Structure formats: structure tokens, C-alpha cells
């Protein structure tokens, strides 16, 4: 928690700057959107590091998290017929939104893990650079026998 303090403070400064810019322009501020963006950006930064805004990853995180909320908050036939999910071909036909959502999560998390793995392989982390959650998981991967799928599952649970 302490290692991510600087990131949280920077995100708070950015949120306050948005409020200040809106006030200077005489515009109103949608606090709900501002707080949702703020919390999403803090979570993204903790998971993906300080470059989480690259390629719009923070927006993609928000979209897949919103997709999870919609998928798990509404009616889900798998809750009533769990055996249907075991038949992969049938699941793709009956639950296409869930399949697309899973593919989006997989793509996003694969890119993040690949970026962190290549960064760790190419150069050691500088002492002043903050380690994010993916860095910690990759550093402990062999110690705890974590597979790539384990890491992705931990990241999905942590972000939803």
C-alpha cells in the first residue's frame, strides 16, 4: 500500500486539477463520473503501473469492468443451468456476450503481462520506479507456481 502512495497522490492531483479547470471555465463537474474515473485510474495504476493510460488501457479496463457488472448483475442462464457452460460450443451460442467479454479480458491482461515480462527481462526496475501488482505477481510466479492463467484470474478478481 505504501509503495503505491505516490501514484494515488498523483491521481488525486489530476482529479483536483480537472475540478479546478472546470471551475475556471465556469463549467459544472459531474462528480459521479469524476469519482468513477478516479477510482478506475487508481486501480489501473496499481495493477498496470504508471503507463496504464497507454493505448487507452484505462478506458478498456472501465469497459470490461462495466461488462462484468452487467453480466453478473443481470439474468444469467448459467446460474440456473450450470451444465450448459460445460459444453463449449453450446456456451458460445447461448452466451456470446460472456465469450466476447472473456476474450477482451484475456487480450487486455495478456498485453499487460507481456509488457511487464518484457520490461523485467530487458532491464531491472529502477529503484525510484514503483512496482505494481503485476510486477509483484511475476516476481513471485516461480516461487508459488503461478501460471499465466492464475495471474490473469487474480487480476480479474482484483479489478472487479
Q: Average pLDDT of each block of 10 consecutive residues along the chain (160 residues)?
A: 84 93 92 90 81 76 84 72 68 74 90 85 57 87 93 81
The SS3 assignment for 25 reads coil
Cut 0.95: pTM above it: no
Rounded to whole angstroms, the Cα distance separating 160 from 154 reads 10
Helical ranges in the chain per DSSP H: 5-24, 31-48, 57-73, 77-80, 88-94, 96-122, 133-139, 141-144, 148-159
* The pLDDT value given to residue 97: 79
Contacts of 126 (CB under 8 A, 6+ apart): none
Rounded to whole angstroms, the Cα distance separating 36 from 80 reads 32
Amino acid at each position: 500500500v505504501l509503495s503505491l502512495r505516490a501514484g494515488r497522490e498523483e491521481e488525486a492531483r489530476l482529479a483536483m486539477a480537472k475540478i479546478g479547470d472546470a471551475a475556471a471555465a465556469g463549467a459544472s463537474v459531474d462528480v459521479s463520473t469524476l469519482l468513477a474515473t478516479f477510482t478506475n485510474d487508481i486501480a489501473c495504476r496499481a495493477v498496470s503501473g504508471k503507463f496504464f493510460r497507454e493505448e487507452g488501457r484505462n478506458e478498456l479496463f472501465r469497459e470490461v469492468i462495466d461488462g462484468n457488472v452487467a453480466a453478473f448483475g443481470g439474468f444469467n442462464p448459467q446460474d440456473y443451468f450450470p451444465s450448459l457452460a460445460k459444453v463449449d460450443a453450446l456456451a458460445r451460442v447461448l452466451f456470446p456476450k460472456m465469450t466476447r467479454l472473456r476474450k477482451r479480458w484475456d487480450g487486455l491482461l495478456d498485453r499487460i503481462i507481456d509488457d511487464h515480462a518484457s520490461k523485467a527481462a530487458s532491464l531491472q526496475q529502477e529503484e525510484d520506479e514503483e512496482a505494481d501488482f503485476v510486477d509483484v505477481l511475476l516476481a513471485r510466479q516461480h516461487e508459488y507456481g503461478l501460471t499465466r492463467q492464475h495471474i490473469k484470474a487474480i487480476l480479474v478478481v482484483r479489478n472487479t
